[in-house]
Structure 1
Amino acid sequence: MDTIYALASASGKAGVAIVRISGPDAHSALTYFGARIPKMREGVVRKLVDSQKVLLDESLVLCFAAGKSFTGEDTTELHLHGSQAIIRAVLKSLSDFEGFRLAEPGEFTRRALENGCLDLAQVEGLADLIDAETEMQRRQALKVLSGALGAKAEEWRRKLIRSAALLEATIDFADEDVPIDVTPEVLELINGVQEELKAESAGSHISERIREGFEVAIVGPPNAGKSTLLNALAGRDAAITSEFAGTTRDVIEVRMDLEGLAVTILDTAGLRETEDFVEGIGIERAIERANSADLRVLLSVDKSGYPGLIQHPDDILISGKADLSGNGGVSGKTGQGVSSLVHQISRILSERAQGAVTATHERHRIAIEHGIGALESARAEVLQGSERAEFAAEELRSVVRRLDAIVGRVDVEHLLDEIFSSFCLGK
């Protein structure tokens, strides 16, 4: 196996740059640099020289033994001065060492997975943590990275294997009098796991929205002040505003952090009947995006309706252009009511976020929903009596395989390249 290396900190000039080395010769790299190998997990300062004995840098060095490192392999970290010239020189020297090569994107994490240091759900949690923009995303990613989903999957697995074992015992002793009817315990285990899976499936949508961001659409007739309100929320001129109806033709998006939640605000075309072909397309897109959004701010200046829009109980109905009407509401021009509106949006979305679970990706949800269906089939087989025990046990084994895929035990090779392609070289 090759020894791999990469810059593990952000590229560019910085106070400190970290180069990570992992593999069978990770510790020997220091001797190639003319430095002594320190005690494991003890930070020391070492002078690093190239093959011509020219000083490269004076670095803080940390070594980790196999089984006690991120990758599960021997690992060395070089904490260099963050000069790009130093980084280039050190990486160039490493490339000259026999058996060393630059790591591929996500290869350190992939080795951690292959060496049993992380399960696949934790790998995804790590990727989400790196991408986290808001406090809620950070908390959710850390929870998954800590192994919370893997722990749940392991408990489900244990209960289902117990259920299958009980059923298989009735098969093995079919010709004998088995004194205990296993049906009640099997059904109790199946029902318990199924209820937990249903709860996880129901909350997975919210978890995905926390990870990807909620969408809030500003909807209303032309000249209701939608674009001006978007600009006020964004704190910049994100959308063109004018007194002419139909100025906004396409959906304009602004990404924001609202009280720890990632939220994309959508400014949509004014809803009205029109014979203008291009404006008509904009209105169709506005209705489509507004209907799929997590929340809608319904802005109005009169009693105009919202043709084509599917309204929901949580939708916020508020008057626009309050600076002109004087009847309360919100005004993007003067800022009236904007803070109150932001707080209302944040409160509604925060309440929804309370339903988040540890299943945060679509593949988790799909595996769980397939598991729920297979458990229903298993229950039906159990209820038909002992002559169907073999079929029920096979259904339970299929559920175990589905849930094992969540943490990467089986059937995930085709996913790995896609997952790790999102990682940087040093991760």
Structure 2
Amino acid sequence: MPQFRSVDDHLRAVAELGQRYLASTTPTTEMCAVEQARGRVLATDIRARYPIPAFHNSAMDGFLVHYTDLTGDSTTLPVVADVPAGSAPRSPQPGEAVRIMTGAPIEVSGSVADTSLAVVPVEASDMPIGLSECPAEVCLQGTARAGQHIRAAGEDVHLEQTVLSAGTVVDAGVLATAISVGHSELEVYSVPTVAVLSTGDELRAPGEELGAGQIPDSNGPMLAALVAAAGADCIRVHCSSDTPAEFERTLGELSERADMIITSGGVSAGSFDVVKEVLSQHGVWFGAIAQQPGKPQGLGLVNSTLIACLPGNPVSVYASFHLYVAALIRLLRSRVHTPGQWDLPIVVATAGGHFPGDARRARFVPVCLERTGPVTATTVRAVPAHHRGLGSHLISSLAVADGLAIVPAGAGDRDDGDEIRVLCTRL
């Protein structure tokens, strides 16, 4: 009986391989215009060249006054200036008011908490909300406190503060933050190259006529799309022969061009499993993981290039990529290692059907996530993506799947209404 490696143990093996890779390679970086950096990974920490806010400013549309002028009922003050955002600051003398807009600068001597100035919102005045001429005087209701509705310079980010860490993926929020603290260029890691290698005489490119026993190569294009979505450049190659010599030659060429190679198929116990035959001689580990789908796996280094060898069935390939390969691509992109953890979010859902358990294997079932209820209290229901449940050959389930429902080994069945965790794959 073969020895099975648990899912957790295989994740640890992925982590250890990643550490070995980091120790043996030197990253390359480049400067990138901040507006072109979306999806790239920061290679250095980012420090603030400007504080945020850059100056004291108003948090409200209203009137800048000395709070001691307000009597508590209604106070009428002359309006001596109008200060929109982007203009120079103007301060009132005691007994005066300045109309001020959100974001407009305010001169404060010392701390905002100790100033005599305050902003009274327009809603607490006799002025209409919206466009209007600056009044000659204004009637203000109630009282105010020192520094009311005044944003202090640097209260969000102070000068030279580290606001972004190396390894951060640049998204819209990161981009806005980097620009706001004064950066027009960012140092980012070079985009890694991942080769997707399909093997097998039976495979034909999409659109080719199929002969007896031949099938379309869906794994190659699927993996190429997953690699691109994970933020890497892809080289896609089909090795059209099951002969070890041709596979070895193709492997050598790819290891010189790519940071990582992904293969699909040829890792089980068949007589023509050339991937396992050749790569075992390079010290690549092959074995069985206690999971369904995706039991046979291979993992290692070839000529200092990472290699992940996945099964041949498409659902197995899809699940294995999200469970193991995505973490390695993230490592190539960011040099930030997450040991033994999945990078994708996990949601707690309600089972929308029967999910059989297995005493020895974890099961990862493609599911659709259905959201019901009001937006503030949404219930998420996980429904099997295929009416037959789980099958490594049920390719059509991948077209609609939002994630992989997790049924841990030995945890028993999950039935309709039970709690079930789902690894989200559609982001």
If the TM-score is normalised by the length of the shorter chain, which range does it land in? under 0.3
Which structure's residues are more often strand, by fraction? 2
TM-score by length of 1: 0.25
Flag the structure with larger Rg.
2
Structure 2 length-normalised TM? 0.25
| Higher normalized helix content (fraction of residues) | 1
